[in-house]
């Protein structure tokens, strides 16, 4: 066969299923203090960030993931002014938050400064200059420690961390204790969204356990999903609040809030998408109904070893 690329990136989607991407260029390969870091340019999805062998986002479809993660929580809040972001080193989560003209301050905490510097250099289409916005306070420390020590309260919280990996830096931010502490850092009427794990059949254990744990902490905890092609299938998110429910927003109200507040075109999320986003398939609802695991510091959850 002619014109077959000689270099391929291979990722295990599940322990029994792989996906491969033809590599156009290797932008970076190395290790930070906390994780293995790869940046490649693929023929299918453009430039991609890979941490510990798992794709975090790619130029071609990152808008799906980042709009799905950020926009519902931002739009659900009637006037989000202060926002906290944990993780999100590519800067695209920050970009989506800053698209709201109501935002006055964003505190972004990502422990891995080296990854952020690499993303600033190699992934300009992700961050689009968001790190230079004067509304941003960027800190390189432990997000859990920062939240425990701050007296600040936030209108919106976005947790954009990798899935919990055994021995990794972020598994303690998926526990019941962390979610209970987080509630004390949320202003009245605040919303909280996170990526909560794969909903790809065969590797849903994290998604199920995270959502069951969130239900013990938040009166409103609504799971949802979006298909991200470069991830190999659908991906799970959860929107949480003490009182605001995304089901109560009409399509027209969502579109009106976007028109009034968001200063850039959205390509995934709008009022029509919002209406279907929070109705996950029956098999996931059935699995969640049977889930009993509550994540604690002594009983953590990790993605399957590969």
- CA-CA distance, 112 to 261, in Å (whole number)? 31
- CA-CA distance, 44 to 91, in Å (whole number)? 22
CA 239 → CA 76, 85, 118, 304, distances in Å? 10, 14, 30, 24
DSSP states along 214-283: HHHH-SEEEEEEEEEGGGTEEEEEEEEESS--GGG--HHHHHHHHHHHB-S--SS-SHHHHHHHT---HH
User: What does residue 165 show for φ and ψ, rounded to 5 degrees?
Assistant: -115, 135
The residues near 141 (Cβ < 8 Å, ≥ 6 apart) are 109, 111
Beta bridge partners of 191: 156, 241
- CA-CA distance, 179 to 193, in Å (whole number)? 12
Catalytic pick among 112, 155, 160, 188: 160
DSSP category for residue 53 = T
Residue (of 230, 23, 194, 26) closest to 118 by Cα position: 26
User: Is 16 known to be catalytic?
Assistant: no
- CA-CA distance, 131 to 112, in Å (whole number)? 15
Strands across the sheet with 82-87, in order? 136-139, 105-109, 82-87, 154-160, 186-198, 233-241, 220-228
Contact 67, 254 (CB under 8 A): no
The residues assigned a catalytic role are: 160
């Amino acid at each position: 066969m002619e014109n077959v690329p000689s270099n391929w990136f291979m990722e295990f989607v599940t322990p029994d299923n792989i996906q491969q991407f033809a590599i156009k260029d290797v932008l970076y390969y190395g290790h930070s203090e906390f994780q293995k870091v790869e940046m490649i340019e693929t023929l299918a999805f453009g430039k991609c960030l890979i941490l510990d062998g798992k794709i975090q986002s790619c130029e071609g479809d990152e808008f799906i993931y980042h709009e799905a993660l950020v926009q519902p929580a931002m739009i659900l809040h009637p006037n989000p002014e202060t926002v906290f972001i944990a993780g999100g080193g590519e800067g695209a989560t920050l970009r989506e938050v800053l698209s709201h003209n109501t935002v006055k301050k964003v505190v972004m905490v990502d422990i891995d400064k080296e990854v952020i510097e690499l993303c600033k250099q190699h992934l300009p289409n992700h961050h689009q200059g968001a790190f230079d916005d004067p509304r941003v306070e960027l800190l390189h420390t432990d997000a859990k420690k920062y939240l425990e020590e701050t007296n600040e309260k936030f209108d919106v919280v976005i947790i954009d961390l990798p899935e919990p990996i055994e021995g990794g830096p972020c598994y303690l931010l998926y526990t019941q204790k962390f979610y209970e502490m987080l509630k004390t850092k949320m202003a009245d009427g605040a919303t909280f969204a996170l990526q909560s794990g794969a909903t790809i059949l065969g590797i849903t254990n994290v998604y199920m356990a995270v959502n069951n744990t969130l239900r013990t902490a938040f009166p409103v905890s609504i799971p949802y999903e979006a298909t991200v092609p470069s991830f190999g299938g659908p991906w799970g998110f959860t929107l949480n609040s003490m009182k605001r429910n995304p089901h109560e927003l009409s399509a027209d109200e969502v579109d009106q809030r976007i028109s009034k507040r968001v200063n850039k075109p959205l390509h995934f999320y709008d009022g029509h998408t919002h209406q279907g986003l929070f109705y996950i398939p029956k098999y996931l609802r059935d699995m969640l109904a049977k889930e009993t695991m509550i994540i604690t510091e002594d009983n953590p959850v990790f993605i399957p070893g590969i």
